[in-house]
Chains A and B, each alone.
Chain A
Amino acid sequence: MRGLKTLAVLMATAAALPAAAQDVVITNAKVVIGDGSEPIDGGTVVIRGGRVVSAGRGGAAPAGARTIDAGGRWVTPGIVAGFTRMGVVEVDGVRDTDDSSAANSVFNAALDLAPAVNPKASPIAINRAEGITRAVVAPDARGSIFAGQGAVIDLGADMNALTKPRAFQFMEWGETGAQRAGGSRAAAMAMLKNALFEAQAYRRNPSSFDDRGKDALLTRADAAALVPVLSGQMPLLVHVERASDILNLIELKREFAGLKPVLVGATEGWTVAREIAAAGIPVIASALADLPISFEQLAATQSNIGRLRAAGVTVGIGSINDDEARQARLVKQYAGNLVALGKIPGAAGLSWGQAFAAISSLPAEAIGMGAEIGSLRPGRHGDVVIWDGDPLEIGSAATSVFVDGVEQPLVNRQTRLRDRYLDPKEGTLPKAYQY
């Protein structure tokens, strides 16, 4: 009996560890580095110990490495989804399965999303099959402008999804921030400054910082969570849309010089692109938001990203308020659309290489993780995808996906349902027996 228990524990432990990383060499590939450069034909990608050793022309294969001839096909870094709620929601409409927000919690900035991430959530498997290998996962703000600390995850089929827990703090600003703070932008500004002052007080002397509970609008735990934000050790992702709200944030950096804000959404960013660039603030923007869906998005245009980039802003694609629990896979299509935009007089699009970077290296750089993920530059995680065509073109599919050098399964609920119902008629037994 005890032996069985021990065995079960051992098995559980084994399942929690990532599968051993392989050494992989992919030759004869149309290699995309993901840094904005254009594809390289006849390239080689070398992965050793789960990390990229080299990608491009040449590259020595480590002894004993598995070698794959890509047959001229596209080989790219895995896609980095710049803003999601993947892995913390199974079905949006089923509240029990949704850990993205906590309306009744007394905490806000202290909330750490990492333990909510479920590597077995079906959107992870579905997006993995479409070449998404990493995702920025953000909590959703309810009782405060602060939503809590988000994570960066991988989409591998193991139980260890966290690339970086507590990778950033997420904050609502603009209309939503105003609502969360009590009803106005003035209230949001007061809430933000109050929180940062409290964090400063905590930082000066943690032991004398009494927990004053929710009455202080910020618990001790929340104040502690904001300390790395004050210093810039932890980026502050801010959902903001209106131009004037963006300028207010830039102004705030004068008072709190350590802050490292990253703008999320930023629909009207293009109208103040020079100011954003001058402040050195990166952006994770919605790619195709072109409707004045709110009064803070009146200047919405699909040219936002192209114009921001032209002004020198580091800008990647994210998907806030856009099926972010499940549809990260759409960023490929979005990036392709930005390439198409370049042909329209008066619009600002992206080159192919820039567009691909907007869904690989640029979102990673925006959150300070460009040295870890998002490209095939040496030293990055060995996240590689082989495609049967141009990855930004509709209809191309990922044929092999590697996370940390480990080849991933591409089956999921959807492929299983498809296989069951390719012929919808029932056979000699009900469909329930067909699996």
Chain B
Amino acid sequence: MVRENDVKRLLMLGAATALLAGCAAQGGGGTKSASAAPKAAAPGMNKGYSHDPFPSTYHAYPGRPTLITNVTVFDGEGGKIEGGQVLFRDGRIVAVGQSLDPAGADVIDGQGKFVTPGIIDVHSHLGDYPSPGVDANSDGNEATAPITAEVWAEHSVWPQDPGFARALANGGVTTLQILPGSANLMGGRSVVLKNVYARTMQGMKFPGAPYGLKMACGENPKRVYGSKGRMPSTRMGNVAVNRATWAKAADYRRKWDKYEKDGGEAPTRDIQLDTLRGVLSGEILVHNHCYRADEMAIVMDMAKEFGYQVSTFHHAVESYKIADLLKANNVCSAVWADWYGFKMESYDAVNENLAILDKEGACVMIHSDDANGIQRLNQEVAKAMAAGRRAGMPITPEHAWTWLSYNPAKALGIADRTGSLKPGKMADLVLWNGNPFSVYTRPERVWVDGALLYDMNNPKLRPVSDFELGQPGEGDVK
């Protein structure tokens, strides 16, 4: 049974051979052709099957050309302008400077206030572990097998999670990556969302953002599967299962590459291995939950063995111990400011993790992994910055902002579109009512693609999800 949408998508692939691949995707194992028939034509690289079967339908909301004046600007890439101005129009940043032409723009006098790029959280479970956190809504871990690279977090995202509104209004978060949980060694694909409510997940999906693969080291996979009496039950078991899986993926990749290049009979589709093929070809970015330094070092060698790159270690509580190694391998760390001690592998946390990594020249960013923490990532960076300064590392606030937007954008492969206030980029930005590294500061207005989606002073510009409608506290200042 082929649904209408499937047919449309297959047709969009443009070639008759795509239909053959489509048939293969139905589990038929490829169309049998008469032995005398000529070899089927090659579909071309990466055209054997759709890589985007759930395409984004996100659209920017209308905005007004706006000039914000008299503000301190952190541009997200380490730049700072006092008494600065930011101009945006048609959803894009036009310019950042000090004497911009206000013609045709609404002017906001931001005296004493700050403008920054919108915050990007590289690690969130909003939508797949939403509020209310009842079992019926708990959709973040497919904890039934250690390898579930075939599941996609986007298929769990509930776009009515009230947490999106809090992250926007209290946190100034404009983009976020939703990851599967960490029960599994390979937990599935992530999805990058614009923090704009929509009726569907596709309506929130960041257009063109690469997928991620969530992987997990350490305690969680070995505990979850060891307790079920199956592999892995140890850290060495974790690595063994991973390597066996990568070996299989390499084989799958070779077969599909050959078929797409040379044609012939299409290999059998395997949705799990599609994801891993995407990693090996560099199309899908690896986001690896990993706490301990020694385990990260092993993962980086495993990545070399199979020819993939880890984008980012998440949580990375011990990254500070191997900052030089992480830098040499070009792997980022996404960390908390001060979480520690909740499990054995988080026992060696230090408040200076972020600062030491930064000092050593490794790529580093803040992350939340938490529906409350995502509302205060600016404060988490303030803590990390202060800890670093006290330990003798000079860190400027404008540099620290790279940990909140530009570095996460790089880790997600979207730094060419958002994450800093450069002309032509998405107008994803926050006007703060004071220094955003002060505890006494709150977002005053938040724009996504130039559309004003939160205004502290306008109760009607405060999103209320379907779930909260008609409930106690609807529309309250949260």
Contacts and interface: CB of A to CB of B under 8 A. Distances in A.
Contact of B437 (A288, A290, A394, A418): A394
B240 interface: no
Interface string A122-155: 1100100000000000000000000000000000
Given A291-B163, A346-B459, A301 B473 contact: yes
Interface stretch (A46-54, A88-96, A204-212): A88-96
A262 interface: no
A126 to B, nearest CB: 8
Contacts of A291: 131, 162-163, 166, 371-372
A231 interface: no
B99 interface: no
Nearest to A121: B341
A292 B356 contact: no
Nearest to B476: A301
Contacts of A421: 320-321, 350, 356
Interface in A294-342: 294-295, 298-303, 323, 325-327, 329, 333, 336-337, 339-341
Nearest to B349: A414
Interface in A352-403: 392-397
A92 to B, nearest CB: 5
A325 B346 CA distance: 14
B476 A292 contact: no
Contacts of B322: 424
Nearest to A417: B350
B456 A288 contact: no
**Size category, A interface:** 35 or more
B441 A340 contact: yes
B382 A424 contact: no
Given A395-B386, A421-B350, A336 B477 contact: no
A417 B473 contact: no
A427 interface: no
Contact of B166 (A290, A346, A394): A290
Nearest to B381: A394
Contact of B132 (A293, A326, A340, A344): A293
A141 to B, nearest CB: 19
A418 B350 contact: yes
Contacts of B338: 327, 329
27 contacts: A91-B347, A92-B343, A243-B472, A289-B372, A290-B375, A292-B162, A293-B371, A295-B134, A298-B472, A299-B471, A300-B478, A303-B476, A323-B342, A333-B439, A336-B439, A340-B442, A343-B442, A394-B379, A394-B438, A395-B383, A395-B385, A396-B386, A414-B350, A417-B348, A418-B352, A424-B321, A425-B324
Nearest to A396: B386
A28 interface: no
A60 interface: no
Given A345-B456, A425-B324, A91 B440 contact: no
Contacts of B35: none
B320 A326 contact: no
Interface of A: 90-94, 122-123, 126, 243, 268, 271, 288-295, 298-303, 323, 325-327, 329, 333, 336-337, 339-341, 343-347, 392-397, 413-415, 417-418, 421-422, 424-425, 431
Interface string B431-444: 00100011111100
Contacts of B398: none
B7 interface: no
Q: Which 9 A-B pairs have the closest CB atoms?
A: A395-B386, A336-B439, A93-B343, A299-B473, A299-B472, A347-B477, A394-B382, A290-B478, A346-B477
Q: Which of A93, A347, A397 has the most CB of B within 10 A?
A: A93
B457 A345 contact: yes
Contacts of B339: 323, 327
Q: Which of A345, A392, A394 has the most CB of B within 10 A?
A: A394
Contacts of B163: 291
Given A294-B133, A394-B439, A421-B356, 14 more contacts: A91-B343, A94-B344, A288-B372, A290-B375, A291-B372, A293-B133, A300-B473, A343-B433, A346-B476, A346-B477, A394-B383, A396-B386, A422-B352, A424-B323
Given A344-B456, A418-B391, A424-B356, A392 B477 contact: no
A321 to B, nearest CB: 11
Interface string B400-437: 00000000000000000000000000000000010001
A397 B341 CA distance: 21
Contacts of B134: 294-295
A123 B341 contact: yes
Interface string B454-478: 0011010000000110011100111
A126 B468 CA distance: 39
Given A290-B170, A291-B163, A340-B441, A424 B457 contact: no
B340 A326 contact: yes
Nearest to A394: B382
Nearest to A322: B372
B341 A92 contact: yes
Interface in B377-392: 379, 382-383, 385-386, 389-392
A393 B468 contact: no
A58 B375 CA distance: 43
A426 to B, nearest CB: 10
B382 A302 contact: no
Contact of B477 (A90, A243, A292, A303): A303
